[in-house]
Chains A and B, each alone.
Chain A
């Protein structure tokens, strides 16, 4: 069974600074990996997904994530934070044989002016 661990439940960054959200996964088969963002009082919005085509995945709103098999990681980054990036971010994993999507506990990002 697959699982996800998000390191850090809260991250605070200054506007214009690098955003780095950490995600480690465990999966017995090659995984599919996703990052979702949830703004207050809204549903989860897909930021990006890894499906084995390329290890560096670019998503919406300037975010990208790198799949590192040796480290079982899929960290999310954005070079320059914007106030509108304040939200909760979820890493999720599934495999090709299972419809279940396992979510991490989420990381709340606060952006300081």
Chain B
């Protein structure tokens, strides 16, 4: 299996621009997670999908962030408008089931907002 695939790997944008991050989970996995990693806050769960349905979006920082999962093989995380404080590494992870299952991470998208 190819693992969790994220694109782009790096994104540099200017403040105010829209940013879209993409994720393809491992085939057959029914749970998908978006995380953000920063030096100050470590790994933060942003949103959790189960069977393509958002279950918990309490970690989404504010209304500028939105996530969708239109089908079992694709998810997006959008930031509009972007701000410098959004600069971080964003990870997508998938698992077979949510509770107690190992989570498999993509390589991440390093976002820099200037």
Partner-B contacts on A (CB < 8 A): 32, 34, 36, 41-46, 49, 51, 90, 94-101, 103, 105-106
Docked Cα-Cα span, A42 to B99, in Å, equals 25
For B100, the chain A residues whose CB sits under 8 A away are 32, 51, 94-96
The tally of residues in B whose CB lies under 8 Å from a CB in A reads 24
Asked if B99 and A98 make an inter-chain contact with CB atoms under 8 angstroms apart, the answer reads: yes
Q: Which chain A residues lie closer than 8 Å to B4 at the CB level?
A: 43
Shortest C-beta distance, A68 to chain B (Å), equals 19
Closest to B108 in A: A43
Query: A44 — nearest CB in chain B belongs to which residue?
Result: B105
CB-defined A-B contacts under 8 Å, sample of 25: A32-B100, A34-B102, A34-B103, A36-B105, A42-B107, A43-B4, A43-B6, A43-B91, A43-B107, A44-B91, A44-B105, A45-B105, A51-B100, A90-B43, A96-B99, A98-B99, A99-B31, A99-B48, A99-B55, A99-B56, A99-B99, A101-B45, A101-B103, A103-B43, A105-B42
